[in-house]
Structure 1
Amino acid sequence: MPFSKLGLSDPIIKAITEQGYTVPTPVQAKAIPVILSGRNVIAAAQTGTGKTASFVLPILEKLKHFETLRKKRIRALIITPTRELAVQVEHNITQYSTHLNLTSLAMYGGVPLEPQKQALIQGVDILVATPGRLLDMYTQRAIHFDEIEILVLDEADRMLDMGFIEDINKIMDKLPQERQNLLFSATLSNQVRALAKTTIAKPVEISVIDKSAPTKIDQWLITVDKDKKSALLSHLISEQQWQQTLIFIETKHGAAKLVSQLEKRGITAECIHGGRSQEIRERILADFKSGKISLLIATGIAARGIDIDSLPRVVNYDLPYPADDYIHRIGRTGRAGSEGEAVSLVSKDDFKNLCAIETKLGHLITRKEIEGFAPKKSVPMSILNYVPKNKKETDGKQTANSNHDRRKEECKSTNKATMSHKSHSPSKPKSSAVTNKLPLNPWGK
């Protein structure tokens, strides 16, 4: 189904065609007509499935006939958890509205207030904002909410994880009652549903997890002792000549330390995290997207908003928790049908996180060994037992419960003989070449 069948007008179709998009993704095909009808929506779709266009395109369609005429007013408000994501969403709005007479603004902290205040004085059609800066502007009377027609909570799960619920509730109390509400999230957790229940009346729920579609993300992991991770990463970068690689790490201290460790081995990398100024983060992101920087180390929060259609590779230097974050991270590669690679460096300390991730995926991640980096502290194998389809439903429930209990015990006790690395690990390769490479579907069995 082409975009023209979804109810979008010619100027918008022309803009997205110029960006190289001709066929909507599943979440776009489902969400756009519902939003155009005026219904409230809560939608879940994984990273890289086109969620942003799912709400931006119908918003442009609904607002295109009129403009904001009063000062300090906005017509659509999009709330995002991070500065990087606010910039990325506003950039998408600019691209899609190139043939429309609409204005947009990204508003976030870490930069001076005055330029954002001046932009608001003229009136803005679509504002993309982080919660804290938005409340600051409202308190200073730099913005008024009385003309808001559409509200979007983007990456709602991440906003809750980051503790923004109080700020969100304060914002909701100040918005006009008559408005269209849209909530988009990578997952519909209990917390997200609770937020939706208190803020969105009678929503249409859209959930798109296309497990049948073949993925081009090749997932694999390397077991290695924790103190050898930086040496292994340096080896992989040099031996396999990795270019434009996004490396995830858990802490800003760890990010800075890893940059230094790589530099000592003659490898240039940059890092972004919450401790760096907004100006520096924007410059580094721009250089990474343009290819001037080939290796970018980022904490999970700072990496929100990195949107590159052909990013070839992501590396989990540290395995994330919760398991959903793994899905978010690998979704940064393999976008728009392109091929991608997701590599994880796993030590024994990561075992519980690995259990949770592989249980979430429904399959084991392919393991490989690199000669010279075999761990002294072996990483046990998770055991995933699937319920046969021909089992009776009652038997299936009992088996599923049994499997769940078994996995919990395995994650608690990493030294059981049945899970020893020796009995399950692939044979050691004879050279430094990577072995046992098998593509897997990260969202299906």
Structure 2
Amino acid sequence: MAGITMQTTFQDLGVSESILSALASKGYESPTPIQAAVIPRLLTTHKDIMAQARTGTGKTAAFGIPIVQNCTSERKVQALVLAPTRELAMQVCKEMESMKGDAKMHFALLYGGQGMAQQIKALQSGVSIVVGTPGRVLDHIRAGRLHLDQLRYLVLDEADRMLDMGFQEELEAIVASANPDRQTLLFSATFAGTILRAAEVYLKDYDRVSVESVQEPRNTRMLAHEVYARDKREALRRVLTNSTDFYGLIFCARKSDVDELADYLSKKGFRAEGLHGDMSQPAREKVLGRLRKRKLSILVATDVAARGIDVNDLGFVIHYDIPDSADALTHRTGRTARAGKTGTSICLFTPSEASKFRALEKRTGLMHERTAVPDRAVVQQMARESVRQGINKWLERSPGAEYSDFAGQLLESYDAQDLLAVLLRDRHGDLLLDSAWPDIAAPKPSAPSEKGKNGKNGKSGGGGFRSARKAANRKRKYGPREDGSVPNRRGGFKKSGAGRK
């Protein structure tokens, strides 16, 4: 691995021509540090890997590329990727499928909250690669539908988060049922004591790989506004009005929301357009061209549509809908403050999303300052100041003698103040009126996340790999989990059954 340099290409790492073509179509140009470290290891050795990689480092491609390259189209399960949430599982599966190129490889996505019939059908027809959440994967194993006796690769993606969520017993059971000669990859944001102990249980002779995030946002001011869902549009309008020279991206979760929000902002006087996956390539290029030329100041987009945007001087990113994954939050935030410049990232979240948002902050390390949405007096003053600045710019250009002469005639016939008021109303509508800014109810501030509290008294349940999450396991043992599955009351396998000799 010592020969890896900043000029290293995917071809240098041993990636096949078919996958190189798929990567090129996705816009991948050169490997990230975690990809450069992991890909050749997986392609050429059989050692297990424990990798420390924060979100935004490209870790999915780091394990996805060599696994897709080394697996065959044979309809037997050769690789299993476990993820803590259904959203991450869906994202990983989609990303890996996009890398297969022309290979006739079949995937199965297994997570709770989705009907069993579709998953059972996929497993019965035979698949090469399975991606899923621990609870649902274990359900299929215990039902005899998923067999791991010929497994070549087991990936524990975001292992620290899976353990934090109390999936230890499920992980032990899954690992115990897998081919002992498999290659296991454990990815974690940290090498904390719990993860180090987990590595001793789940891995055999392994390499340790650690890289820093190359996309961690710097020089970025991060703000968050908690608002009720009914007030989100008005809150966004106030944020935009209060932001001097706004030039940036607004992220929405759904394509339909992109069109609706862009239309709303345009009607409110903002230079905004939308971008999403249903747009043709010519239409997409036209919108991006307008953004680069600053004929647009606001681009409303989905995460997928924004992947190919290459604009380095964006000053703002607004998360109108908070993302479903930590990776998405990191990538979104990294769109601003590039090339040594400063930027601002603003999240709008509802009270029901408060705990999810705190979890994203904890996962990414991107902590946001909670602030109130600008009040009516502030935004009204900003709106009026914007009009004043516009008038100053107009006055820098001579209107010409004919306009000046006609203006003089009007002033002889009308009161100057009345005349100016009519012209302002005609151009700006109700923007400058109190009625233009409806009231926004302030939610009760959400409680800050608590750290290190496993029980009612805030005390740890004791030391050791298993007892560190005893309280969390009790709390969720028999109820639905985040991945939608319901745990088996018999519990997991003992620690001694999970490792390999």
Q: Calculate the TM-score normalised by the size of structure 2.
A: 0.52
SS of 1:5 mapped into structure 2: coil
The answer to whether the aligner puts 1:166 opposite 2:169 as a matched pair is yes
Question: What does 1:30-69 align with in structure 2 at a 5 Å threshold?
Answer: 30-36=37-43, 37-63=45-71, 66-69=72-75
Q: Report the Cα offset of residue 191 of structure 1.
A: 2.0
2:110 to 107, 116, 130: 107
SS of 2:151 mapped into structure 1: coil
What letter corresponds to residue 221 of structure 2 in structure 1?
W
Q: What corresponds to 1:25 in structure 2?
A: 32
Report if aligned partners of 1:104, 1:124 keep a CA contact under 8 Å in 2. Answer: yes
Report if aligned partners of 2:276, 2:305 keep a CA contact under 8 Å in 1. Answer: no
Question: Given the superposition, is the C-alpha separation of residues 3 and 234 from structure 1 closer, same or farther in structure 2, using an over 3 Å criterion?
Answer: same
Give the total of aligned pairs: 319
**Identical-pair percentage:** 30
What letter corresponds to residue 329 of structure 1 in structure 2?
L
2:198 to 185, 195, 207: 195
The answer to whether the aligner puts 1:329 opposite 2:329 as a matched pair is yes
Q: Any stretches of 5+ residues in structure 2 without a counterpart? A: 1-7, 266-274, 280-298, 310-315, 380-501
Question: What does 1:355-370 align with in structure 2 at a 5 Å threshold?
Answer: none
Q: What corresponds to 1:309 in structure 2?
A: 307
SS of 1:195 mapped into structure 2: helix
SS of 2:180 mapped into structure 1: coil
The answer to whether the aligner puts 1:245 opposite 2:260 as a matched pair is no
Q: Report the Cα offset of residue 185 of structure 1.
A: 2.1
Question: Given the superposition, is the C-alpha separation of residues 238 and 94 from structure 1 closer, same or farther in structure 2, using an over 3 Å criterion?
Answer: farther
1:326-363 CA deviation, whole Å, 9 max, x = no partner?
898334432699798523689xx99xx9xx98xx78x9
Report if aligned partners of 1:222, 1:370 keep a CA contact under 8 Å in 2. Answer: no
Question: Given the superposition, is the C-alpha separation of residues 235 and 60 from structure 1 closer, same or farther in structure 2, using an over 3 Å criterion?
Answer: same
The answer to whether the aligner puts 1:342 opposite 2:345 as a matched pair is yes
C-alpha separation in 1, matches of 2:215 and 2:252: 23
What letter corresponds to residue 20 of structure 2 in structure 1?
I
Q: What corresponds to 2:185 in structure 1?
A: 182
Q: What corresponds to 2:122 in structure 1?
A: 119
**Radius of gyration: which is bigger?**
2
C-alpha separation in 2, matches of 1:12 and 1:109: 31
What letter corresponds to residue 11 of structure 1 in structure 2?
S
Q: What corresponds to 1:7 in structure 2?
A: 14
Report if aligned partners of 1:314, 1:330 keep a CA contact under 8 Å in 2. Answer: no
The answer to whether the aligner puts 1:157 opposite 2:160 as a matched pair is yes
Q: What corresponds to 2:220 in structure 1?
A: 219
1:398-442 CA deviation, whole Å, 9 max, x = no partner?
xxxxxxxxxxxxxxxxxxxxxxxxxxxxxxxxxxxxxxxxxxxxx
Report if aligned partners of 1:218, 1:342 keep a CA contact under 8 Å in 2. Answer: no
What letter corresponds to residue 219 of structure 1 in structure 2?
T
1:127-169 CA deviation, whole Å, 9 max, x = no partner?
1011111111112211111111110001112212222112111
Report if aligned partners of 1:48, 1:335 keep a CA contact under 8 Å in 2. Answer: no
Q: Report the Cα offset of residue 245 of structure 1.
A: 2.3
Q: Any stretches of 5+ residues in structure 1 without a counterpart? A: 248-258, 268-286, 297-304, 319-324, 375-445
Question: What does 1:282-293 align with in structure 2 at a 5 Å threshold?
Answer: none
Question: What does 1:64-143 align with in structure 2 at a 5 Å threshold?
Answer: 66-69=72-75, 73-143=76-146
